Amino acid sequence: MTDPVIQVKNLKKYYSVHQKEPGLLGSLKSLFKRKYYDVKAVDNVSFEIKEGELVGFIGPNGAGKTTTLKVLSGLLYPTSGQVSVLGFTPWERKSAYQKQFSIVMGQKNQLWWDLPAIESFILNKAIYEVPDAQFQKTLDELVDLLEVRDILKVQVRKLSLGQRMKMELIAALIHSPKILFLDEPTIGLDVVMQKKIREFIQEYNKRFNATIILTSHYMEDVKQLCERVIVIDHGTILFDGKLDEIIKKFASDKTLDVTFDGKVDLEKLKEIGKIESFEYPKATINVKRSKASEAATELLKKFQVADINITEPQIEDIIRQLFTNK
């Protein structure tokens, strides 16, 4: 539990992308001359992850989350920086490393489309050289956890998106990887299925002490699953720590929800803080974090108050602020 299993130091990944002017004329021009520019997908990122941790990567589209996961999986060569996972350098693609991790991309499937999922599992068993007994045991366990026994022999093309995602997870886990990268595992799924997948990820993390990195656009995924989050935008890390610390660090304000019990002098109320809404008898007032309790005392002193509540802003709001301020 002490040594980090994933170490990333000053990781940079720049892409050279060509630009095409709009329209047919632009296409013709690009046949002869292309303008290239660098995209800094990941720009000087460092972090460490310990065994058994379940870490969430959050950030808007194109922030660099998936690129980071792809470097960790050995799919991409970095522009510069050091990466070590379980002591391996991912892009050397040693089979000893590949047998110990797995990556699931929510928008990609590895299952054979025309065959039942079980055939893909058997194929992966052979590829990862999983012994028979272990295969049977792992398969049984996963199949029961995800409740898919009845559809194991159904052609993959005939499964629903949610069922297919479950099968994808089994295919990715059949070799019992110690490290798991999940790139948007719940994308496109309905709320019930999202919850099921989430519960499964949590259970898998606990039961096998697997180290998991998860990216998701759904804050709910991250809130439910990850104690620690890494917030990425424009290829750099904005925050790395406990989820609730984001609020302390980035939320400058707190909100006072007040219900009054008597007359209210609006001018006086404005002295307390910024009034977000006022609809007698209720009011919402924004105050500086450090002044919150002071403001509350003042309210109680100067007004007739029936009820008062000090609330933290929603994590979603803070993250939205973080990304738009940049």
Partner 1 sequence: MLSKFFIIFNASLQNEFTYRLNFILWRFRNVLRLLMTYFLWRGIFVNSPQVFGYDQSQILTYILLTLIVVSIVLSSPSGERIGEEIANGDLSNYLVKPLNYLRYWFIRDVASKILNLSFNILELSLLFLWLRPIVNLPNNLISIFGFVYAISIAVGIYFLLNASLRFFAFWSPENIWSIAFLTFVFLETLSGAVFPLDILPKTVQIGLQFTPFPYLIYYPIAIFLGKIQGLEIIRILIQSTIWLFLIFRFAQFIWKKGLKTYGAYGK
Which residues are at the interface with partner 1 (CB under 8 A)? 15, 70, 73-77, 93, 95, 98-99, 101-103, 105, 107-108, 110, 112, 114-115, 119, 122-129, 155
Taking the complex as a whole, how short is the minimal distance between the CB of residue 157 and partner 1, in angstroms? 9
* Pairwise CA distance, residues 319 & 234, whole Å: 14
Query: Three-state secondary structure along 41-99?
Result: EEEEEEEEEECCCEEEEECCCCCCHHHHHHHHCCCCCCCEEEEEECCECHHHCCHHHHC
The residues, ordered by sequence, that sit 6+ positions from 179 with a Cβ below 8 Å of its Cβ are 5, 6, 85, 86, 100, 101, 102, 210, 211, 212
Nearer residue to partner 1 within complex by CB, 132 or 279: 132
Q: How far is the CB of 205 from partner 1 (least distance, A)?
A: 20
**Positive or negative: CA dihedral 186, 188, 189, 190:** positive
Supply the minimum distance, in Å, between the C-beta of residue 32 and partner 1: 14
Q: What is the nearest approach in angstroms of partner 1 to the Cβ of residue 171? A: 10
- What is the closest distance, in whole angstroms, from the C-beta atom of residue 265 to partner 1 in the complex? 56
- Residue 55 vs 171, nearer CB to partner 1: 171
> 121-128: long-range contacts (C-beta < 8 A, 24 or more apart)?
121/170, 121/171, 121/174, 124/171, 124/174, 124/175, 125/174, 125/175, 128/99, 128/174, 128/175
Of 58 and 318, the one with the shorter C-beta distance to partner 1 is 58
Cβ-based nearer residue to partner 1, 7 or 110 = 110
Q: Which is nearer to partner 1, 90 or 273 (CB)?
A: 90
Q: How far is the CB of 1 from partner 1 (least distance, A)?
A: 26
**Which two three-digit tokens encode residue 197?**
């997948």
Is the Cα dihedral 54, 60, 66, 72 positive or negative? negative
Pairing of strands 101-105, 179-183: parallel
Q: What does DSSP assign to residue 163?
A: H
In the complex, the smallest distance separating the C-beta of residue 107 from partner 1, rounded to whole angstroms, is 5
Nearer to partner 1, 15 or 218 (CB): 15
Rounded Cα distance between 189 and 292, Å, is 40
Strands 211-215 and 179-183: what pairing?
parallel
Nearer residue to partner 1 within complex by CB, 75 or 251: 75
Cβ closer to partner 1: 63 or 103? 103
To the nearest whole angstrom, how small is the minimum distance from the Cβ of residue 15 to partner 1? Answer: 7
**Angle between the 191-208 and 161-173 helix axes, to the nearest 10 degrees?**
10
